[in-house]
Structure 1
Amino acid sequence: MEKHQSDFDYKEAVGEKSSEDYTQDIAEARREARQWLQEFRDGLRMEEWIKDQNEEEYILQQQQKKQFFDMKI
């Protein structure tokens, strides 16, 4: 039986990267996405915490003013 030379170029069709390289690229992209998401969530939590602190400070100031006016009367 004769072997025929194929004109199919595997490297041209598939590329130089192996499936392991693509797997590593995908894993790295997922790590970066998770890190960005974690930083985003941390930022939201910090904003919420600051908002809560400001509200608490405002409430305390209002209570102090009310107590001051109650004492004057």
Structure 2
Amino acid sequence: MKALIESIVTPLVDQPEDIVVTETEEDAKIVYHLSVNQDDVGKVIGKNGRIAKAIRTVVYAAKSDSNKRIYLDIM
């Protein structure tokens, strides 16, 4: 899942070397924390959050067979 998030975000940013995806697993959910360079945050979020919503939609659709919910947190 980390590779999927990175492959989606890499073409959007100017500094792809600053992309960091971390995973936190809890009882009923898995949270992916995406952090990018401060200058690229707006590009990842997009106007009115449209790009962020689209990224979340793809990640949620590609979730594994586990019963845990998946969340994407953009920092």
TM-score under structure 1 length normalisation:
0.28
**Higher relative contact order structure (alpha carbons within 8 Å, sequence separation ≥ 6):** 2
Q: Where is the strand percentage greater, Structure 1 or Structure 2?
A: 2
TM-score by structure 2 length? 0.27
